[in-house]
Amino acid sequence: MRRFSDELRIPKYVQLKLSIKDSIEDGRLAPNAKLLSRPEMADAYGVSHVTVTKALDELENEGYLYRLHGKGTFVAERKPDHKTLSVIIPSLAFNGDQVADSLVLDVTPNMVHYLEDEAYTHGWNIMLHISHYDPAREREYFRNTIEHHADGAIILYSGYKENLVYIREMKELNIPVVMIDSYTEDVNVDYVSTDNFNGAIKATNRLLDMGFERVCCLTSDPKSVPAQKRVSGYKAAMDDHRKNADVVIVPDQYDSDGWQRGGYEVVHNLLMNAAPSCAFFAMFPDLMKGAWTAISEVVSPEDRVGLACFDESKLDISGNVCMVEVLQPLEEIAKRSVMAVMENSTTRRETLRLLLTPEIRVTRFGESA
């Protein structure tokens, strides 16, 4: 019989409750099966009678158990109609939020929309938590996910390593967890994201194959795994073409305007001494917006310019420009992450490592067409 740990940061009654709930959902406790008496359960699990009572009372309130006076506690015939999916993200868009180790840009609202739609299709409810890059707030949401009995969690990694302990606890308590888009390999949970490495290789190759002699990579400090993969893919493509990689780190900013200013400043400085036929590959759209502003001011309209970016840049482009966009499969990422939660809520399996192929879109403007 499992005994619970004082080292976990959640109450023992929650640990007991989730253990019983898990046994009911995977069939180890069949409908109408009788549970141990409360004193027997307290002794078996090494917890107090108060802990047992609180855990069983909550399970009864949620419809997992029922009591018969003088006979004991039994597993309910019918499970609750809906399951709850906790979605924890740092931000829905840049609006003055402080930036942590990884970036959440305007792709996030689209992914949340697809997550909600997919969860609804399968009869799951969503609890949406937005931490606003506050590690204390994120910790509170992780604890709430555990203590409020979520049936699964989808997490967009914020970069706060000190909070990974709560994700490990979810796994310990058999709550299915999937990291979506931005993830870390410091914790052994499922993740569904874009194949950023090969996406960056393909975009860089497109620019080099167009004849641009130099491709400059613009990025933030690449601390998250996806950001690292993007830069690594760019470097691999440059190495394959026997070109020197040129990675420019833009200092961390705090909002969309800040990243655009950062992109503008570094590209403006580069263009003052740029080699002929120079192209710029930005790792996210706000850097590209700033870069394009600088290019528009410095480069003559007839000069040939190469641009590449992850996600849609939504730029008002004119002149002789080749644009390569690496479009992440956001809808598929959302759908596959929801399916991964649901599959792991019923069948324990190997950890999922799913990287989906992005679309490479090339647009030529002006004389490049």
Position of tokens 């549970």?
A: 35
Tell me the pLDDT of the chain (369 aa) as tens digits. 455 665 556 788 888 988 898 888 878 999 999 999 999 999 998 899 999 999 999 898 888 899 988 899 999 986 556 789 999 999 886 444 444 433 445 688 889 999 999 999 888 999 999 998 899 999 999 999 988 778 999 999 988 999 999 999 998 888 899 999 999 999 999 999 999 999 999 999 999 999 998 999 999 887 789 989 999 999 999 999 999 999 999 987 767 788 899 999 999 988 887 655 689 999 989 899 999 999 998 888 788 899 999 998 888 888 889 999 999 999 999 999 999 999 887 676 789 999 999 999 999 987 544
Q: What pLDDT is recorded for position 102?
A: 39
For residue 280, the SS3 value is: strand
Domains of the chain, earliest start first: 12-75 (1.10.10.10), 83-193+330-356 (3.40.50.2300), 196-328+361-368 (3.40.50.2300)
- Compute the distance between CA of residue 74 and CA of residue 68 in angstroms, rounded to an integer: 8
Quote the tokens at residue 218.
């613009």
- How many residues in total does the chain contain? 369
- Compute the distance between CA of residue 57 and CA of residue 66 in angstroms, rounded to an integer: 9
Q: What pLDDT is recorded for position 240?
A: 97
Instruction: Judge whether 278 and 214 are in contact, CB under 8 Å.
Output: yes
For residue 86, the SS3 value is: strand
Q: What pLDDT is recorded for position 327?
A: 96
Q: Cα 249 to chain center, whole Å?
A: 23
Has this prediction a pTM greater than 0.85?
A: no
Q: What pLDDT is recorded for position 5?
A: 61
Quote the tokens at residue 98.
């402080």
Which residues lie closer than 8 Å to 222 by C-beta, 6 or more apart?
228, 230, 231, 283
| DSSP string over 109-150 | HHHHHHHHHHHHHTTEEEEEEE-TT-HHHHHHHHHHHHHTT-
Name 89's bridge partners. 130
Q: What pLDDT is recorded for position 368?
A: 46
- Compute the distance between CA of residue 277 and CA of residue 275 in angstroms, rounded to an integer: 6
Name 129's bridge partners. 88
The conformation of residue 35, written as its DSSP 8-state character, comes to: P
Instruction: Judge whether 151 and 173 are in contact, CB under 8 Å.
Output: no
- Compute the distance between CA of residue 141 and CA of residue 309 in angstroms, rounded to an integer: 33
Q: What φ, ψ does residue 133 adopt, rounded to 5°? A: 55, 30
For residue 256, the SS3 value is: helix
Which residues lie closer than 8 Å to 58 by C-beta, 6 or more apart?
13, 17, 149
For residue 154, count CB atoms less than 10 angstroms from its CB and return exposed for 0-12, middle for 13-18, buried for 19 or more: buried
- Which amino acid is present at 29? L
Quote the tokens at residue 254.
């705090």
For residue 257, count CB atoms less than 10 angstroms from its CB and return exposed for 0-12, middle for 13-18, buried for 19 or more: middle
Rg of the chain over all Cα atoms, to the nearest angstrom:
25
Q: Nearest to residue 34, comparing CAs of 58, 62, 56, 1? A: 56
- Compute the distance between CA of residue 122 and CA of residue 351 in angstroms, rounded to an integer: 22
Which residues lie closer than 8 Å to 80 by C-beta, 6 or more apart?
62, 63, 64
Q: Nearest to residue 124, comparing CAs of 337, 331, 342, 335? A: 342
- Compute the distance between CA of residue 76 and CA of residue 31 in angstroms, rounded to an integer: 6
> In terms of DSSP H, where are the helices of the chain?
12-25, 38-45, 49-61, 107-121, 135-147, 164-172, 196-209, 225-240, 256-272, 285-298, 330-346
- 137 Ramachandran zone, left/alpha/beta (phi>0; psi -120 to 50): alpha
